[in-house]
Structure 1
Amino acid sequence: MTADKTAFPTRRAAAERNRDKILAAARAAFADGDTGISMAEVARRAGVGMATLYRNFPGRRELLEALYADEVDAICEAAVIEDGQSPGAALITWLRLQFDFISHKRLIVSELLEHTGGDGPASRRAQALDAGRPLLTAAQQAGEVRDDVTLEQVFDLIVAIAKIHGTPDYLEPIIQVMLDGLVAGR
């Protein structure tokens, strides 16, 4: 009995490590721009067998959804005002995270849209908007950010800029102009 009690948590921990390895391998592959990566290649890069891969992610869609969900969850958790930080600065920092996410994860998002018909990204967008609204409201109430824009409008601008083809050096001044335009009184 004692062996069974200790084996179960060990198996669960190993399963969690395998899941994390699979996600890390898939995340790295998509970060490299490898949209054509097969499930077999993900398993190979993660150092797990196909059965382990499919036990965690029955198909490509589930893998993409997990990647996307993890990223959105991290962005939502980052929607905070740190001690000593102004609400406007917190919002701008968070919006930059949004831009980085969208511009670097557009391959995942576009493929996920192909596999889901658009439902997954839309619900995650709503989740991110809900997380960011208190930042925008605080920045607007502090008079640091224009009060005539909604977070939906700001997101749409970020998405539009992220769709522009170009290097990060090319896109940086464009996103900076947009962020500067949010500052109240400009």
Structure 2
Amino acid sequence: MTETSAAASPLPGLRADARRNRDRIVETARDLFTERGPGVPMAAIARRAGIGTATLYRRFPTKESLLAAAYAEQFAECVAVVDDALADPDPWRGFRTMIGEICALQLADHGFSAAFLAGAGTEEPGRHRERAVRGFGELVARAQAAGRLRADFVPADLALAVAATAGLAALFPDDAAEASRRMTAFLIAGFAAGHGGPPLPPTPLTMRDLFDASRRAR
């Protein structure tokens, strides 16, 4: 269900050489975002791509627009994961599957979670992000209404799973996939209603807090 990435899609109105230049910028940016996170300076991206900073800004006026292009495919895939989970008639099964697939997506490209939180303006991946956030909120509400997801779980708690996955990828790169699956199983067990554990401490975060913190980090 993954859509074609922005880097690979033909762009109406661009000559072939302009498309090649744009593709090179997007590929370079994606590499640097993965290596150094979304805080990498635009000037560093321009240098590695072999272009001037002014040229980069003509193509991508903001960091958000470049993040959007670099991770267009991943944004679309994230939405597809949430849509598939919402389509499952069993909301708890859909929730469990979505958590596992989102963690796997983060593991495959740890730069994507930072890009997701950083936002993407009003471009298509930005709309994907908002759709994914709304869909996840709906999935949480359904699973809680079914009595399967603990009532004190909030959508921002997804950041805990994503952050933990990022930590595993950084500390244990050779074993991260297996370790992530085990960690995710532990998390899902803790998310389940009626597991017998104590109430969760109140969360200090909302999804908006996470987005704002990522923007400040850039």
Same fold (TM over 0.5): yes
Residue 79 of structure 1 corresponds to which residue in structure 2? 82
Aligned alpha-carbon RMSD (Å):
4.1
- Partner of residue 110 from structure 2, selected from 105, 113, 128: 105
Amino acid at match of 2:190: G
Task: Give aligned pairs, total.
Answer: 162
State the alpha-carbon separation in 1 of the partners of residues 180 and 81 from structure 2.
23
State the alpha-carbon separation in 2 of the partners of residues 130 and 17 from structure 1.
35
Amino acid at match of 2:164: I
Amino acid at match of 2:171: G
State the alpha-carbon separation in 2 of the partners of residues 18 and 55 from structure 1.
12
Amino acid at match of 1:63: L
> What is the identity percentage for the equivalent residue pairs of Structure 1 and Structure 2?
25
Check whether the contact 2:71–2:112 (CA below 8 A) recurs between aligned residues: no
Point out which structure has higher relative CO (alpha carbons under 8 A, 6+ apart).
Answer: 2
**Greater Rg by CA:** 1
State the alpha-carbon separation in 2 of the partners of residues 101 and 22 from structure 1.
23
TM-score normalised over the length of structure 2: 0.52
- Partner of residue 136 from structure 1, selected from 130, 137, 140: 140
**Map 1:1-186 → 2, pairs under 5 A:** 11-12=13-14, 14=16, 19-20=22-23, 22-31=25-34, 33=35, 38-41=45-48, 43=49, 53-58=56-61, 62-64=65-67, 66-67=69-70, 71-72=74-75, 74-81=77-84, 86-102=90-106, 104-106=109-111, 109=114, 120-121=118-119, 127=130, 128-152=132-156, 154-164=157-167, 165-167=170-172, 168=176, 169-186=178-195
Amino acid at match of 1:147: A
Bigger helix fraction: 1
Instruction: Structure 2 unaligned segments of length 5 or more: list them.
Output: 1-10, 196-218
Check whether the contact 1:144–1:184 (CA below 8 A) recurs between aligned residues: yes
